[in-house]
Amino acid sequence: MQYDDEDLEEQLTDGSKHDNDWQLDVTLRPSSFDDFVGQERVVKNLKIAIEAAKKRNEAVDHILLSGPPGLGKTTLANLISREMGVDFKDTQAPALEKQGDIVGLLTNLTEKAVFFLDEIHGLRRGVDEYLYSAIEDCKIDIILDTGPSARSITLPLKPFTLVGATTREGLLKAPFRARFIVRERLDYYEPEDLARIISRSAGILDIDVDPAATDVLSHSSRGTPRVANRLLRLARSLAIATGKKSITKEVAEETLVNHRIDKWGLEEMDRMILKVLVDNAPAPVGLKTLSEIVEEEPATIESHYEPYLLKLGMILKTSRGRKALPKAAEALGVTLGEKTMFDR
Q: Which of 7, 4, 9 is nearest to 234 (CA)?
A: 9
14, 21, 74, 340: the active-site residue: 74
226 is catalytic: yes
Q: Which of 166, 165, 172, 233 is nearest to 202 (CA)?
A: 233
Q: Select from 164, 191, 225, 284 the one that contacts ligand ADP (CB under 6 A).
A: 225
146 is catalytic: no
Nearer to ligand ADP, 37 or 123 (CB): 37
Neighbours of 240 (CB within 10 A): 13
Nearer to Mg ion, 65 or 324 (CB): 65
User: What's the chain's length in residues?
Assistant: 344
Nearer to Mg ion, 26 or 257 (CB): 26
159-188 burial, b at 16+ Cβ within 10 Å, e below that, comes to ebbbbbbbbebeebeeebbeebebbbebbb
What is d(CA 282, CA 44) in angstroms, rounded to the nearest whole number?
43
Q: Determine the residue with CB nearest ligand ADP.
A: 72
Residues in contact with Mg ion by the rule CB under 5 A: 73-74
Nearer to Mg ion, 162 or 247 (CB): 162
222 is catalytic: no
54 is catalytic: no
Nearer to Mg ion, 74 or 214 (CB): 74
Nearer to ligand ADP, 62 or 322 (CB): 62
Q: Select from 38, 265, 284, 307 the one that contacts ligand ADP (CB under 6 A).
A: 38
112, 226, 233, 275: the active-site residue: 226
Binding status of residue 183 toward ligand ADP by CB under 6 A: no
Binding status of residue 223 toward ligand ADP by CB under 6 A: no
Binding status of residue 164 toward ligand ADP by CB under 6 A: no
What is d(CA 299, CA 301) in angstroms, rounded to the nearest whole number?
5
What is d(CA 285, CA 215) in angstroms, rounded to the nearest whole number?
35
**Region from 33-41, 145-153, 261-269, 319-327 binding ligand ADP, contact rule CB under 6 A:** 33-41
Nearer to ligand ADP, 80 or 331 (CB): 80
The least CB distance from residue 53 to ligand ADP, in Å, is 21
What is d(CA 270, CA 171) in angstroms, rounded to the nearest whole number?
23
167 is catalytic: yes
What is d(CA 215, CA 212) in angstroms, rounded to the nearest whole number?
5
The least CB distance from residue 274 to Mg ion, in Å, is 27
Q: Select from 226, 230, 304, 323 the one that contacts ligand ADP (CB under 6 A).
A: 226
Size of the site for ligand ADP (CB under 6 A): 19
Q: In this structure, are residues 325 and 344 in contact, taking their beta carbons and an 8 Å threshold?
A: yes
The least CB distance from residue 197 to ligand ADP, in Å, is 5
What is d(CA 146, CA 125) in angstroms, rounded to the nearest whole number?
21
Residue 235 interacting entry, from Mg ion, ligand ADP, none, C-beta within 5 to 8 Å by type? none
At position 111, the amino acid (one-letter code) is E
Binding status of residue 30 toward ligand ADP by CB under 6 A: yes
What is d(CA 336, CA 332) in angstroms, rounded to the nearest whole number?
10
Residue 70 interacting entry, from Mg ion, ligand ADP, none, C-beta within 5 to 8 Å by type? ligand ADP
35 to 56, 196, 199, 231, 263: CA distances (angstroms):
27, 10, 12, 20, 27
Binding status of residue 36 toward ligand ADP by CB under 6 A: yes
Q: In this structure, are residues 140 and 134 in contact, taking their beta carbons and an 8 Å threshold?
A: yes
**Residue 65 per-residue DSSP state:** E
Binding status of residue 307 toward ligand ADP by CB under 6 A: no
Beta-ladder partners of 315: 324
Q: Select from 18, 50, 60, 69 the one that contacts ligand ADP (CB under 6 A).
A: 69
105-110: long-range contacts at Cβ-Cβ below 8 A with a sequence spacing of 24 or more? Answer: 106/130, 106/131, 106/134, 106/140, 106/157, 106/160, 107/140, 107/155, 107/157, 109/157, 109/158, 109/160, 110/86, 110/158
Which positions lie near ligand ADP, rule CB under 6 A?
25, 28-30, 36-39, 69-75, 197, 225-226, 229
Active site positions, annotated:
73-74, 118, 167, 226
